[in-house]
Amino acid sequence: MSEIIVMKELLGENKRIAEENREIYRKDHVLMVNIMGAPGAGKTTLLKAVCAELKERGIASSVIEGDLYSSIDADDFNAKGVKASQINTCGECHLDAAVIKSGYDSLDFKNGICFIENVGNLICPAEFDLGEELRIVCASVPEGDDKPFKYVPMFSYVDAVVLTKCDLKEAVGFDSANFKRGMDAVNDAPVFETALGKNVSGTDSGIKALTCYILERYAK
């Protein structure tokens, strides 16, 4: 019982800070995009590709990296010239609006698109509004085609889905029709398919389509 009360208080306080965040992003002309997904779903690889695509189009981007421990990903972004700040949750399973507030402050970023790479977790992050305008979940093909059926809160929470590692569909026997059935049952969000593996060459049309989708939201 007391757990439920504390959780409600926590979520209420989180919501209040999220609304403050949203107001700041609006004033700064920043589109905040929350990228969620299971561990190893391909969030970092996706973000690198989208940031590169945005750069080609002259749009500034930055990243707030959430991880339990380590700064592997933020270091990598900074090395590639994308402004990134690292948040270590020290074991916490999600990011909340307060930690994003401090991560955003340390970025010193305006007029562009800022991505939050959430902690690798297909459950808990769907409970915490961070003040973002756009919510995207990455689901990778090797995770299986039944995920929308099993992780309903996340797949119904998001504005868009990115199905990553599509080059592995045949290798793992991914049933696209079953995935679509699961999606149709919970959400009418668009699904973008990408294949950015180390062994894939050429331009990825899914990344271009996703970038256009994000830019449409940025223009609003």
Q: Which region among 28-36, 47-55, 98-106, 168-176 touches a second copy (by CB under 8 A)?
A: 168-176
Give the distance from CA 30 to its chain's centroid: 16
Contact between 197 and a second copy per CB under 8 A: yes
Query: 209: part of which helix (H) or strand (E)?
Result: helix 205-219
Distance CA 161, CA 5 (A): 32
Q: Are 80 and 56 in contact (CB under 8 A)?
A: no
Place of tokens 């689901």: 139
Contact between 98 and a second copy per CB under 8 A: no
The CB-of-212 to a second copy minimum distance in angstroms stands at 27
Contact between 119 and a second copy per CB under 8 A: yes
Contact between 91 and a second copy per CB under 8 A: yes
Instruction: List CB contacts of 207: < 8 A, sequence separation 6 or more.
Output: 46, 49, 50, 53, 194, 196
Both tokens assigned to 11: 């979520």
Contact between 146 and a second copy per CB under 8 A: yes
The CB-of-170 to a second copy minimum distance in angstroms stands at 8
| Contact residues for a second copy, defined by CB under 8 A | 2-3, 6, 9-10, 38-40, 67-70, 72, 91, 93, 119-124, 140, 142-144, 146-147, 149-153, 165, 167-168, 170-173, 197-199
